[in-house]
Structure 1
């Protein structure tokens, strides 16, 4: 759909279609009984004690029942999104070449016909396309079962969102009760090709809150919003190396963590110490000292001439804890000068792939195994634990032994 066509259909937006936010419901005021003076004092003391007691959280959480259907760009092919799994490359959307007004996602809950979805977003625009009419929606919007929404990087003002990442938060309600939520990531890897860049969708998390003893759980909106924010924040700190490598002609399928650091000591050609300038969720806190080991020449090269006033962003798969403190194996690094400008890195082609805590040469693996590793590394840690076998050449290269597809041990902390 051309931008001019998009502008034309959006020009007739009907305001009555804009869904307004749900009005807050006021809680009923408690009714107090009259007591004698002594009994009243005792009652107030007891109630005050209950009010200041912080309740414990015993929520029962199950995998999400929300079904999100994605659609291929140039056919009627469709696919149900799985948590943590990237969609095939042909499930993309580009404003320059697509016949659809945005990236389509259908929200369904077949076993819960009465649920509604409260959908919120900050970047880009969500559209509804019904009866040949395209309507731009405000955030949050409330939609019913089996509704398809369309995300676009074009705002109703016809300005374009030029960020590489956006998020869609979905709160699932049954009547007044929150029964689940989901977070969807919208991203592009070719923003430099604007305005022909392609966008993709990935389901980061989907959970449900089942009834307990036949009753709805008391799930607050504040709790769900904080959980969705945590998921987004964690994802922003867990960087896929492919997005970094695209800047330097590199490729790598492993999911890496990243943190801003300042080098405090170069121990030798492959080891240096840094001070963390930011937090890395659950592992690293600002001010921590980290021992960094690397085998990559690109990292060693920029360390040879580093200045104390400069800082780095380092990329690594996991954080180790030893008696001497925190340690990481660095796969990549970006150096910044004192003014925060990125310094040029050597253009070195990546020839390794990550499996658990091992960096393996791609040349030692078959094409089928490399494809298997790409799918494996896209899984969440919990999903990786459920994998029961690995390709034989990967098994042997890791030093486990010989044989056909063989059981894989779970990653250890």
Structure 2
């Protein structure tokens, strides 16, 4: 009887230790997952891009073929664009080409244009709504920055002149290296991060 009692106590003790170890392991896993989230810091957007003219673009009076966006950085830096890229254009051989055709990975120092009217078929001005473009800076294939740009229409009281459009930089983030190593950031994590600013 005494042996059975000691055995039961020992079993309960082992069960308690096992549960404690499982809880500790789960806590460590959660902590590791949290640590793996992208570490981002806010930076000036001109580290990555510039909008040299943003005074209210319109089809009727503007001299540029769209709202211009200049990509900044040295030669090895590239940018991956996503979002409403069918409204982004680049000049090639004297013609404007949609990024959906020219490619959504662009080099630093290139100039792009946001223009929601161009296309086949062209859109009606009154049908154009807010659009978003996400630019991810990459160095040696690793994400090192993100800029989220919002393009919005503004309809004047004089409806004959049509709407004007402006760009707004909603987020400008850098992903610093950790211990001299680039962070490992997935496309899904970049998308989720951008979505937190689009709400």
- The question of a shared fold, defined as TM-score above 0.5 by the shorter chain, is answered with yes
Q: 2:193 aligns with which of 213, 218, 227?
A: 227
Q: 1:108 aligns with which of 49, 53, 72?
A: 72
Aligned equivalents of 1:175, 1:191: Cα separation in 2:
45
Shift of 1:164: 3.5
Aligned equivalents of 1:117, 1:194: Cα separation in 2:
38
| C-alpha RMSD of matched pairs (Å) | 2.8
Unaligned runs of 5+ in 1: 1-48, 73-86, 234-413
How high is the TM-score relative to the length of structure 2?
0.71
Q: 1:150 aligns with which of 91, 113, 133?
A: 113
The equivalent residue for 1:138 is 100
Shift of 1:67: 3.2
* Preserved CA contact (<8 Å) 1:124 1:151: no
SS of 1:199 mapped into structure 2: strand
Higher relative contact order (Cα pairs below 8 Å, separated by 6+ residues): 2
Shift of 1:170: 0.7
Alignment of 1:14-413 (within 5 A): 53-54=29-30, 55-58=32-35, 59-64=38-43, 66-72=47-53, 91-109=55-73, 112-122=74-84, 125-138=87-100, 141-160=104-123, 162-190=127-155, 193=159, 196-233=162-199
Aligned equivalents of 1:181, 1:164: Cα separation in 2:
23
Aligned equivalents of 1:64, 1:118: Cα separation in 2:
18
Structure whose residues are more often helix by fraction: 2
Unaligned runs of 5+ in 2: 1-24
Shift of 1:133: 2.0
SS of 2:188 mapped into structure 1: helix
Please give the per-residue CA displacement for 1:111-135, whole angstroms capped at 9, x wherever unaligned. Answer: x541211112327611101442211
Shift of 1:57: 2.7
SS of 1:223 mapped into structure 2: helix
SS of 1:114 mapped into structure 2: coil
SS of 1:138 mapped into structure 2: helix
Aligned equivalents of 2:67, 2:95: Cα separation in 1:
16
The equivalent residue for 1:238 is none
| Structure 2 CA distance for partners of 1:174 and 1:123, relative to 1, 3 Å | closer
Shift of 1:204: 0.4
The equivalent residue for 1:261 is none
Shift of 1:194: 6.7
Please give the per-residue CA displacement for 1:11-31, whole angstroms capped at 9, x wherever unaligned. Answer: xxxxxxxxxxxxxxxxxxxxx
Which sits farther off after the overlay, 165-174 or 122-131? Answer: 122-131
* Preserved CA contact (<8 Å) 1:124 1:154: no
Number of aligned residue pairs: give it: 165
